[in-house]
Amino acid sequence: MRPHCGAGAVMLQAGGDPAVAQGHKMDFTPTEEQTAIFDMAREFGAERIAPHARAWEAEGTIPKELWRELAGLGFGGLYVSEGAGGSGLSRLDATLVFEALAMACPSVSAFLSIHNMCAAMLDRHAADDLKERFLPQALSMDCLFSYCLTEPGSGSDAAALSTRAERTNAGWRLVGTKAFISGGGYSDAYIVMARSGGDGPRGISAFVVPDGAPGLSFGGLEDKMGWRSQPTRQVQFDGCDIPAGNLLGEEGRGFAYAMAGLDGGRLNIAACSLGAAQAALDATLAYMGERKAFGKTLTALQALQFRLADMEIELQAARVFLRQAASKLDQGAPDATKHCAMAKKFVTEAGSRIADQCLQLHGGYGYLADYGIEKIVRDLRVHQILEGTNEIMRLIVARDMLAGH
């Protein structure tokens, strides 16, 4: 079953909203198609991911067969165009998939987001030959992709990256190291940002590096707080040779491609926080309805009812904020980047607060792995760091606010 949903999917009449005055309708009530997409992803997660999430975390890897099953649902190219064989979903539609899958495991859902970001870059920017060589396998998820931007010495200052790409008679030679790469040594190919020109963003190009390329190697497995089912390693290029045709898009445009992909990536990570926080809250409601203290169930205690209400209010506010930002990105609104940054900051922090409160309401049991809450707390913590730290999100917002003042 492959989901299909047009890009103009979610519209809401909102009288008095400035977005409406600018011609942007907004309706965040899911359509029947969107509900079907969400339900399909949630059911798959409940059946095929949630029962195994702890075991995969302990093993430090996700079985590759799972990705092929997800590809069978059309999830290997969620926003790859239908003409190229993808599902052609809007960015808002795609956030529903990541939210639903994160209810089963944020680590699995987030890795799918990374692969989809790479598949979309191939669809939008790759020359025909490169696209033909890699995109069909990306859509079937027989070729898993990782995204290589961050370096050991340039985290938030991504434009200062130092990995070099030098022309050779046969193509390109890459020299440098990427850090914190989800899927390092596990994925089948890597989209790598490297400096092919001078300093600054315009000197950066993007390249496709297949696993097994000469000069490609990996650091040791990182021992992480969360996302433990995703293997994370440094990716090292020691005179790594690739064909000339593995340049992705135009030379010098790599950083622009990377940044364009990050707007959607930020929405996806926010959606992962949202889904996991929802799962934590659902589990907490069930637990409190059964657990008794002082002769009453926990749900009968008004002080705890108020805490539940506060979490629900924050969760619903986060959901609307995320969907508004996704709608703006789909519409190409001029303030889409600002809203993606705001949503990423707000939703990831809200998700972590809610998960932490859910652990507290479980008492000592929340600290035990059997109840699943502590894993959510650990998995969500990194969401405030990756795809641009939340400090960088504040910087993006502040710069937009101050522009012209």
Please report which residue ranges of 224-335 form alpha helices under DSSP H: 254-290, 302-331
Neighbour count for residue 157 (Cβ, 10 Å):
10
pLDDT digits (tens), the chain, 405 positions? 344 343 333 322 233 344 433 444 567 788 899 999 999 999 999 999 999 999 999 999 999 999 999 999 999 999 999 999 999 999 999 999 999 999 999 999 999 999 999 999 999 999 999 999 999 999 999 999 999 999 998 767 777 899 999 999 999 999 999 999 999 999 999 999 999 999 888 999 999 999 999 999 999 999 999 999 999 999 999 999 999 999 999 999 999 998 888 899 999 999 999 999 999 999 999 999 999 888 899 998 899 999 999 999 999 999 999 999 999 999 999 999 999 999 999 999 999 999 999 999 999 999 999 999 999 999 999 999 999 899 999 999 999 999 977
d(CA 327, CA 11): 8
Q: Does domain 146-254 have CATH number 2.40.110.10?
A: yes
The pLDDT score that the predictor gives to residue 16 is 38
The pLDDT score that the predictor gives to residue 154 is 78
Q: Which residue in this structure is represented by tokens 């010495």? A: 153
d(CA 7, CA 365): 43
Residues assigned a catalytic role: 387
Instruction: Give Cα 233 distance to the centre of its chain.
Output: 18
Q: Which residue in this structure is represented by tokens 């339900």? A: 39
Q: pLDDT for 294-310, tens place per residue?
A: 889 999 889 999 999 99
Same fold, 18-143 and 146-254: no
Q: Which is nearest to 353 in space by CA: 384, 394, 321?
A: 384
Residue 301 dihedral angles phi and psi, to the nearest 5°: -90, 120
Q: 145-148 and 204-210: which strand pairing? A: unpaired
d(CA 258, CA 387): 11
Give, to the nearest 10 degrees, the angle between helix 106-125 and helix 64-72.
Answer: 60
The pLDDT score that the predictor gives to residue 4 is 39
d(CA 115, CA 122): 11
The pLDDT score that the predictor gives to residue 103 is 98
Helix, strand, coil percentages for the chain (3-state, nearest 5)? 55, 15, 30
Torsion from C-alpha of 332, 1, 125, 19, nearest 10 degrees: 0
Q: Which is nearest to 127 in space by CA: 247, 291, 294?
A: 247
Q: Does domain 18-143 have CATH number 1.10.540.10?
A: yes
DSSP code, position 22:
T
* Domain positions in the chain: 18-143, 146-254, 262-402
What end-to-end distance do the CA atoms of the chain give, in Å? 51
* CATH (one of 1.20.140.10, 1.20.58.220, 1.20.1510.10, 1.10.3720.10) for 262-402: 1.20.140.10
C-alpha dihedral sign at 222, 95, 255, 169:
positive
d(CA 345, CA 347): 6
